[in-house]
Structure formats: C-alpha cells, structure tokens
Amino acid sequence: MTACLLLIAAVATVVPAAEQHRLADGAIEKSREFLQGRIDHYGMCVDEYPTDHQRNLHGGRTALTAYALLASGLDRNDPTLEQCLHWLLEADLDGVFPVAMRAKAFALVPGEQFHEQLVADAEWLIGAASEDGTYTYTPCDGETGSRYDNTTTHAAMMAVAAADARGVEVPQSYWRTMERHWASEQQGDGGFGYRIPPGRLRARTYGSMTAAGLEAASVCFDKLHRERFILCRPVETPRLLTGPVEWLERNFAADVNPELGVQWYYYWLYTLGRAARRTGLVRLGDRDWYAEGIAELLDRQRSDGSFGVGERVEETALALIFLSSGRAPVVVNKLSYTGQWNPRPHDAANLADWLAYAFEMPINWGQVSVDDPVEDLCAAPILYISGAGPARFDSEHKEKLRRFVLRGGMIVSESAGNSGEFSLDMQRLMRRLFPEYPLRRLDADHPIHTHHYNLEDPPALYAVSNGVRLLAVHSPTELSLGLQLGQSEQTRPSFEQFANIFLLATGGGQLRPGGFPEEPDAEPIEPRATIRVARISHNANPDPEPLAWPRLAHLMAQRHRIRLVVSEPMSPTRLDPDDWPIAAMTGTEELVLSDVERAALDDYLSRGGTLVIDAAGGSPAFADSARRQILPIAGRSRPARWTPLAGPEDLSEIRYRLDYALALDERRYEPRLTAVTRQGRLAVVFSPEDITAGLVGYEYTGIRGYAPETAVALMTNILCHLAGVQAD
C-alpha cells in the first residue's frame, strides 16, 4: 500500500520460529477449549449478557465466541460450534455490537442459510449508523450520534466490510460517509482515540483505536478509489493511512495498550492483528509485533486456557483472534521494489481472504521488500510480483530471488495494466535466474488452468520449470485488477487462476506456518561418522534441486552427528570407489548413456561402488530409461524390493505426497525401493518415485514420490546402511 506499510528491517524473534509456532498452537488449543466450555447445550454462552437490563448487548458474547472459534480455524463441523451458530441464527439481536459480531462470524461460514442472515445483518447495520457515519450501542436510525464511540463504529463498519467481501451490496455513499468520519477523527500525531468529546477539538490517541482506525481507513481507501485502480495509475497514499502506521511504529508495545496502559489490552492486540493482516504489516519498524505479542500472552494465559479477569470470555476471544491472526500460514508475500510495484494495493489481501473462505482454512498474506533477508521472502510459498512499469533488480536481489525459489518457492508475476515494460523485464529476470531452463507458454490443459477450477478461457501464462515443479510463472495480461476489485462473477477468473496456483504450490493447500524449512548451513559439528557421496552428471537434467543434498547434509549433521560430504555432479568416468564409495544419480528426462559411460559405471560397480538412483519428481521418462540402461549393468540378480528399516531414522510409517498417495490406494503405506546385488553386496538402490525433491522439504502437487520427512528418512537410512554407519 505504501512504503510505510512494509517490512523494513529484520530483527530476531523473541523465541526461535519453530518453538514460537509450537507454543502458539498450544495456547490456541487451550483458548478454544475454554471458549467451547462456555457454550451451553443450547449453543448460547453461559456468561451471556441478560436480556432484561442489557438488551443491546445480549448475544454479543456468544457471537464473539463463535467468531473467535471460526477465526482460529476450528473445524466448521465441530458440534459445539455448530450449536453456537444455529443459536445465533435464531437469536433476535438488536444491539450494534451483537449484530456486528454475528455478521463477522457468518462471513466466515459458507452456506446459503448463513448468507441470508449476513445480508440482513449488513442491511441492519447500515441502517443503524448515524447521519455522520458513527455508531453507539443502539441504532441511531440516521440521526447524528452525540454519544458515538469509535470502538463500536469500527466493529460495525468492519462487519459491513466482511459482508461486502462475501458479495453483499453496500452503497458507495456508506463508504464515503465512513471515510469522512475517520478523517475527522484522526489526530495531529496520526493516531485515533475513542471519540472527540463534545465541545473539544482533540481526542487522546492510543494503540487499540489507532490500529482500528488504520484498518477502517484501509477499507475506505480501497472502496472509494476503484477508478484509479482500474486505470492503473500511481495512487498517492493519504495521511489517513500513513499516519496510523507511523504512530504505531513510534509507540508499539506488546505488554500494554500504547498510551493507555493496561486498559483494553486484549482489544489492543485484537485490533493490531486485524490491521496488520489487512495491510500486510509483518513488523512495526524493527519490532516483530506477533512474536512479542505471543511472548506476553503465554505469560498471561491461565491454566484453563483463559485470559483476563471475571467471566474472561471477551478477553479470551480477543486473545485467540490475535494468536490466530499471526499464526495463520502466509500463502503469498507481495514484493516491493523500486518502481510501480503496488498499483493495486489490496489485491493480495483480497486474494488471501477469498482463499481462506473458499477453502475454509486460516490464511495470511504479507508484504516484503526486495531488500529484506531471504528468510522473510521464504515465509510464504508464493512470492507475488506485480508491476505497471520497469522492474529492475541488482545482482544481490537476483541472488536472493533465486535462493527463495531453490528453497521451494514459486515466483508469480503479473503485468498490471498489461504493462509491456514489466513483462519484458520479468522475462529477462527469469532467464537470468534460471538460464538452464527455457521460458515456455503453458498449454490450456496444464494443471495450472485445470487443477481445481477448470478455467474456460485461461490467460496466457509463461513459466520456467526444472522438470519437477514450476519455478516461476508470469502473466503478461493483468490479474491484479480482478483481485483488487473483489470477488464477483466478472472478477472470479482471477481468483480461480490464483487458487489453482496456490493449490499447485502448496501440495493441495498444505501450508507450513513460518514458511519453508531453514536453509542448510555449514554449522560445525563433532561428527561420529563421515559418509562420502559422489553425484553423477549426465544428459537428463542431473541437478534439478541444488539444495536437496546440502539440506540432507545439514539434517544428518544436526540429528545424528553424521558428516555427509557430497561432490558436485561429475562424469561417470571420474568415479573412483576409493574416494566415493557411494554415487547418487537423479534426473527428470530420458537418460541416454554412451558406451564409455556404461563401461565406467560397470567398472565402478565391479570395484565395490554402489549407485543410489531416484527419478526426480517421479519422472517416468527418467525412471524407465534408468531401469533399462543401468540395472542390467549392476549384475545378473533380479531387482528385489528392499527397505532400509534399520538405521538412525524411524521408517515404521511410510508417507507419500498427498495427491500421489491417493493414486496408490493400498500401496501408499509400502516403500517401492528395489535393489540389485552384485557379488553378494548391494550394487544399486533404485527408486522410481521421487526422493530428491523431498529432501528440499517443500510441498507441491503432481510430484510422484515420498513426503518430505519420509524422503529424508529413507535417504539417511540408505546411506548409513551402505556406509556401515550404525544408529545413534
């Protein structure tokens, strides 16, 4: 949206990422259990506001509880949640807060019966606003609200926005009125307060209301500037948006509500998480707001999973929404760079929201800079690059983008406004990043167009593939406009195209919180054993995943104190079993060996060497050709099934990649390795299924092979068996 909304600096998290996610998961589960325990057999919160003297709040705690459970990713079919939703469906609510919370909950639930009530609630809320766009606890019926407050105004407006995102028609006049209100409430320091008291010109600014104002202003900005987005012109970001971000960067605190102290602390975290999710804020200045918030909440959570004092329903629900807002896996990071990178500022946010709703799973998005560390880029499987003009990257940036892809990521770029300059620059970038692979147009029947949604008139997409997966995809025609305008029948193809890309890049929606596995490093260890492996070069794309073996070496060192020394790909004629007792071969194309290469392999095997072969990506062309050309060289024994069950890794459970496992049916629990013996010893270990891509650790649809953890376990045990290295 603006440079102010970007992640601009890296800082260590409070705890290591993996531990942070584990602790957050535990806190989320305990909070869910507490809230579920507060729902009675009718589906109503046992601590609900009474109908006699708090009629305008009745139903609010039940609705907030349902919203929090849904936002945390609880299974929609959970019996307690089902009861709660149906109680809300039948409840007669007439307070702004309860109706707003019900609308937010129902906006997360697919189904016509809930959508009908969502439409009714949105219409009720629009009618409940005052003439100047403000709200209080009871409907204003169009009159100017003298006792308004920005907390209720934010809740009502964001409920209307949630309904709008589900196709409920909201008049433009509503957004104009709301923008005028928030503009009138913004203070000189950029922040927002609870309200400006009668007869005064200023309000006290503090954290929770400033975050709420940021989210509200962001919605208004997107709803009221459609023409600028359609024309793809540069849009100057108003102070209504930059001001609250600057305020939050100056005043952020995780242990108190900034400038207010302990008051409304959990509401502060709630509004912060929502505003950050909408605007893509990953950090505030150099502060990791989510990591610091987790640390605080873990200290405050009670043994029963609750937060706060008294009934603790509101505090627990708000804390749960915060925990879930940052815990939801990031599916796409939008890249900022020098140039027109953000002509459609809410495209990625709308995409993440639609994917979360369409596939009923928590999903986040983020904004990252090309100057950020590669670890930040790797927080999501898809790096989205949009542009309406030139896009130039220096050598350091290009290397960072290449590292992101090698770790399992996919670059997806699109020419906003059909920019020819951007398309040419992206084509040059792809050729520079992956000179070994051509840029080709994908056929209309490619899975990217048909995997989940079968697009009738798909856009022309060009891609680079390593033979295992798509590394980068480019659309010379714009996709961002449809995403920016939000889901409708006219814009649906853009969402469905990205949905197919999302499902391909994540193995059917298998999202890893925190992003890709850590990049392999050269951390020194005291090894208890050393294994040397030569990698073989040939004509059939011998190194499609360059990080596969370095990552395996890293894992074997960390898990088992085994030093794995791996060569660069070398010709079979250079193989010497005295230096390299094990040789590995993989590929994605038809293997063609010369007479000299076959003779060299025969000599290597006869002198005691062993070959380990797998088909990268499960390539049938490589598997069939390797079976024909190499197995006969190994010896006269027939290939036999073999599994290295004994070894450092537990192989009691064999797992294949999700989509491939479904195709295997009952065979999906069995390893499919074969071995050939020569002179009484193993000469060749052969896998027609992929192991190589699994060693990198990413999920991807269409790979015929083992799940990443099984691939690592298999190769570890294979190498240890061949090298005579015992389990720890």
Structure confidence by residue, pLDDT tens digits, 304-337: 999 999 889 999 999 999 998 877 788 999 999 9
668 has a pLDDT exceeding 90: no
Look up the pTM and report it.
Answer: 0.85
Same domain, yes or no: 271 and 360: no
Which range among 13-22, 133-142, 350-359, 714-723 shows the weakest confidence by mean pLDDT?
Answer: 13-22
- Identify whether 77 is part of a domain: yes
The distance from CA 303 to its chain's CA centroid, rounded to whole angstroms, is: 30
517 has a pLDDT exceeding 90: no
- Identify whether 518 is part of a domain: no
Q: How confident is the model over 460-465, as a mean pLDDT?
A: 97
pLDDT at position 10: 30
pLDDT at position 14: 42
More confident residue, 227 or 554: 554
Same domain, yes or no: 106 and 142: yes
Same domain, yes or no: 661 and 536: yes
Reading the block at residue 559, the tokens are 């898990």
Backbone angles phi, psi at 602, to 5 degrees: -60, -45
- Identify whether 334 is part of a domain: no
Which range among 438-442, 551-555, 669-673 shows the weakest confidence by mean pLDDT?
Answer: 669-673
- Identify whether 183 is part of a domain: yes
- Identify whether 284 is part of a domain: yes
Same domain, yes or no: 485 and 548: no
Q: Print the domain residue range for 536.
A: 529-723
- Tell me the pLDDT tens digit for each residue of 205-235: 999 999 999 999 999 998 888 777 787 777 6
- Identify whether 728 is part of a domain: no
* Predicted confidence band of residue 8 (pLDDT cuts 50, 70, 90): very low
The helix (run of H) or strand (run of E) holding residue 170 is none
Same domain, yes or no: 288 and 382: no
Instruction: Tell me if 5 sits within 8 A of 281, measured CB to CB.
Output: yes
* Predicted confidence band of residue 514 (pLDDT cuts 50, 70, 90): low
376 has a pLDDT exceeding 60: yes
Residue 470 bridge partners (DSSP): 465
Q: Look up the CATH number of the domain holding residue 676.
A: 3.40.50.12140
Same domain, yes or no: 177 and 315: yes
16 has a pLDDT exceeding 70: no
Residue 310 makes CB contacts below 8 A (sequence gap 6+) with none
pLDDT at position 12: 33
pLDDT at position 523: 62
Half-sphere exposure (Cβ direction) of 518: Cα atoms closer than 13 Å: 11
pLDDT at position 581: 98
pLDDT at position 7: 29
Residue ranges of alpha helices (H) inside 91-130 are 96-106, 112-128
- Tell me the pLDDT tens digit for each residue of 246-291: 999 999 999 999 999 999 999 999 999 999 988 888 889 889 899 9
Q: How confident is the model over 74-87, as a mean pLDDT?
A: 94
pLDDT at position 196: 87
Same domain, yes or no: 623 and 688: yes
Could you tell me which of 614, 648, 640 has the C-alpha nearest to residue 531?
648
* Predicted confidence band of residue 147 (pLDDT cuts 50, 70, 90): confident
Q: Rounded mean pLDDT of the chain?
A: 91
If you count DSSP H runs as helices and E runs as strands, how many of each does the chain have, helices first? 27, 14
pLDDT at position 107: 95
- Tell me the pLDDT tens digit for each residue of 82-138: 999 999 999 999 999 999 999 999 999 988 889 999 999 999 999 999 999 999 999
516 has a pLDDT exceeding 90: no
Q: Give the number of domains in the chain.
A: 3
Which range among 46-50, 188-192, 416-420 shows the weakest confidence by mean pLDDT?
Answer: 46-50
**Cα–Cα distance for residue pair 208/196, rounded to 1 Å:** 16
pLDDT at position 474: 98
**Cα–Cα distance for residue pair 259/266, rounded to 1 Å:** 14
Same domain, yes or no: 376 and 479: yes
Same domain, yes or no: 586 and 479: no
Same domain, yes or no: 496 and 539: no
* Predicted confidence band of residue 522 (pLDDT cuts 50, 70, 90): low
Same domain, yes or no: 497 and 550: no
- Identify whether 335 is part of a domain: no
Q: Look up the CATH number of the domain holding residue 256.
A: 1.50.10.20
Instruction: Tell me if 256 sits within 8 A of 16, measured CB to CB.
Output: no
Same domain, yes or no: 493 and 545: no
Q: How confident is the model over 478-485, as a mean pLDDT?
A: 94
664 has a pLDDT exceeding 90: no
- Identify whether 520 is part of a domain: no
> What is the 3 state secondary structure string of 8-65?
CCCCCCCCCHHHHHHHHHHHHHHHHHHHHHCECCCCCECCCCCCCCCHHHCCHHHHHH
**Cα–Cα distance for residue pair 2/10, rounded to 1 Å:** 18
pLDDT at position 488: 86
Which range among 41-55, 426-440, 531-545, 680-694 shows the weakest confidence by mean pLDDT?
Answer: 41-55
pLDDT at position 306: 97
pLDDT at position 37: 97
